[in-house]
Structure 1
Amino acid sequence: MSGRLSKFGSAIIGLLLASCQSYSAENSQIAQAAPPPAAEGNYLAQPLISEIYTADPSAHVWNDGRIYIYPSHDIETGVAEDGAGNHFAMRDYRVLSMYKVGGKVTLHDVALDIKDVPWAGRQMWAPDAAYKDGSYYLYSPVKDKSGIFRLGVATSKSPTGPFKAQPQPMKGSYSIDPAVFRDDDGAHYIYFGGIWGGQLQKWATGSYDPNGSESDLGQPGAPAIAPKIARLRGDMLEFDEAPRDILITDEAGKPLLGGDLDRRFFEGAWVFKRDGLYYFTYSTGETHYLVYATGTSPYGPFTYRGTILEPVEGWTTHHSITQHDGQWYLFYHDTQLSGKTHLRNVKVAPLEFDENGQIRTLDPGGK
């Protein structure tokens, strides 16, 4: 399996790096047709909606018991694929909601548009949301006007928006894929980071280096680039501490290495807690797995445990995990509707655990 995937990953990487095209926010609004009907195939799950393309689903169950999903909104832009992901040129967010898995899914109006984010330049990537004291917080990675990814916050009194953006990005923020976790004591933590187009590798020295490597700094035998964590301030708008590295180890306690492509962190962190244990879940990127590690603190260290989801149809996937009515669910995406890596669709499937708390691996099918 790993050999086959490595060849596939290499082919995709070659395709992505083959072309490059400049981009400007002014010409990014290109009309797109509605997604076509879902393709036939033996898929684990079907797309939740087909009106628009959606990806990177962050699912939450708020106080009203409804499931709210905060995805990326993929659009066709005409931007050529490249290694930096410039073809993922999304411009707004639309929230999905449903009373139960398998029930009717509502596609809500625009929750936040890039034109309403004062500091934003381009590319609204995978968001997440949080709730505290009657307010909802939408966290999103967007490139600023100099092309550097920052994390922004927008607020609303409604879980579906519209959200009002803060005038500046979060101080000290960088890279992509924010995921907010609320612990049992009410403290909130934000996890973030993604390499390659997510720019995490460009911050290896503590400041942004535009010439930073597009991989794990060319050191496959060194510890892998670490995802980040910071406790959020009480008002949920800023970090309450400097971001820290998250250590992911093998069962012997040794850090996972940059060359360990089947297990090392690439992007898409998501944390949940079950039976007193913290599950740090993430995507391996070019080998296309969703995997997980466990620990006894929100800060880690986390010990690698196994695979959640085998590779999906498309480049890779980005996920969330939540519980509803006593059942755990995995929300993820693939490219069933379009067959194109930048036009994706959100799905959901039940997630099961064994008696030891190990996650049973899912096969998405469709390949």
Structure 2
Amino acid sequence: MNDPAESLAVSAHVPAYAGYFADPFVLRTPTGYIAYGTVPSATPGASPPSDGRQFQMLTSPDLVHWTDAGGALIPLPVRLGTDYWAPEVAYRDGQYWLYYSLGHGDKGHHLRVAVADAATGPFVDTGVNLTPTEAFAIDAHPYRDVDGTWYMFYSHDVLVGPRVGTMLAVDRLATMTSLAGQATTIVRPDADWQIYQLARPMYGRVLDWHTLEGPSVVRHDSRYYCFFSGGSWKNAGYGVSWAESDHPLGPWHRVHDAPRILRTIGHEIIGPGHNSVTVAPNGTDVIAYHAWDADLTARLLHLSPLRWTSGGPRVDGFSGPELSNAVN
């Protein structure tokens, strides 16, 4: 079995790396791949990088064999936050830009950006809060369109509408360290599987809280697909779906009767979510995501081939007509 894509297909339900590795983002480089992931320091079972930096890095020549590459980000003062979530890296003009969220627990998170001359860092924070007007912003996803325009997709809290909670937004990246200030909510909760918690105390109220998070955008056949996670990452109902658009700014539409991209499969895959998409050495698309181990003590890195069909994107073993009733 010499083709890495074949190895991924066979081992789709087997973690690609044994250590704790949540919110995986995989960057393809001229010499291979670098994965960046969240490894929370206060979580039992997690082992943060020994070099004292935030965000674990892994390197691979083929998406199959992975090696620990240490930590990515030089940490900031504790007063700015203690919880570092969901790193993603973009390359522009000879520099690498790491976008992430920082806060205390599930309170007051905002988006930040760090920069380095190498893809493996060390990344140094630029001192910029990208979302100073947001009460809660996480899961930054920088996206470069075919015309060279950069956009920032992320999740933020919205308290109006029939289903309130954390939703997907987009803004234009005016520079790599500033947003245009024209953020728009693009995908809102529309189904019960996206409920995070009923009667959740939030913002001085008690609300049935929904969560859409982890946006990741791919352009395929001149159309844009925004993959996102929905529901509670603590529950087996957590899964990945998608919305479609003709332009990064929208309007974005979700196919309500379409199956999810990823979902729990017995004890093989538990609570898969927060994905990114990269390209395998043979040119096919691969989706990276985390899923819980059998003991529910760690979120582990998984990779699976992503197929494009007339009915939209699919991951074999997760999506198909037999799962359509599980969506809404």
Tell me, yes or no, whether TM beats 0.5: yes
Distance 1:135 1:344, change over 3 A: same
Tell me by how many angstroms 1:226 deviates.
3.5
Tell me by how many angstroms 1:57 deviates.
0.7
Tell me by how many angstroms 1:60 deviates.
2.1
Tell me by how many angstroms 1:319 deviates.
0.8
| TM-score w.r.t. length of structure 1 | 0.67
**Other-structure match for 2:32:** 66
Where do 1:150-229 residues align within 5 Å? Answer: 150-172=110-132, 174-193=136-155, 200-201=157-158, 204=159, 221-222=162-163, 226-229=167-170
Tell me by how many angstroms 1:117 deviates.
5.3
1:275 to 196, 221, 229: 221
Distance 1:109 1:148, change over 3 A: same
Q: How well do the aligned residues superpose, as a CA RMSD in angstroms? A: 3.3
Unaligned runs of 5+ in 2: 1-9, 196-209, 320-328
- Identity over aligned residues, as a percent? 24
Q: 1:205-241 CA distances to partner (integer Å, 9 max, x unpaired)?
A: xxxxxxxxxxxx7x7x45876311111123x011123
1:295 to 245, 249, 261: 245
User: Does residue 241 in structure 1 map to residue 208 in structure 2?
Assistant: no
Q: 1:238-280 CA distances to partner (integer Å, 9 max, x unpaired)?
A: 11232111146xxxxxxx5364638x86211111111111001
| TM-score w.r.t. length of structure 2 | 0.75
1:232 aligns to what SS in structure 2? strand
Letter in 1 for 2:25: S
Q: Distance in 2 between matches of 1:327 and 1:161?
A: 28
**Other-structure match for 2:276:** 320
2:273 aligns to what SS in structure 1? coil
Distance 1:171 1:260, change over 3 A: closer
**Other-structure match for 1:358:** 312
User: Does residue 49 in structure 1 map to residue 17 in structure 2?
Assistant: yes
Tell me by how many angstroms 1:139 deviates.
0.7
Distance 1:358 1:78, change over 3 A: closer
Distance 1:353 1:275, change over 3 A: same
Unaligned runs of 5+ in 1: 1-41, 80-86, 195-199, 205-216, 249-255
Tell me by how many angstroms 1:179 deviates.
0.9
Letter in 2 for 1:317: G
Distance 1:145 1:326, change over 3 A: closer
**Other-structure match for 1:330:** 287
**Other-structure match for 2:56:** 94
Aligned residues: 280
User: Does residue 106 in structure 1 map to residue 67 in structure 2?
Assistant: yes
Tell me by how many angstroms 1:361 deviates.
4.0
Letter in 2 for 1:297: H
Tell me by how many angstroms 1:125 deviates.
1.1
The structure in which a higher percent of residues are strand is: 2
Structure 1 window deviating more from structure 2 (274-283 vs 105-114): it is 105-114
Letter in 2 for 1:108: A
User: Does residue 261 in structure 1 map to residue 197 in structure 2?
Assistant: no
Q: 1:161-191 CA distances to partner (integer Å, 9 max, x unpaired)?
A: 1000122422535421111111011111111
Letter in 2 for 1:360: R
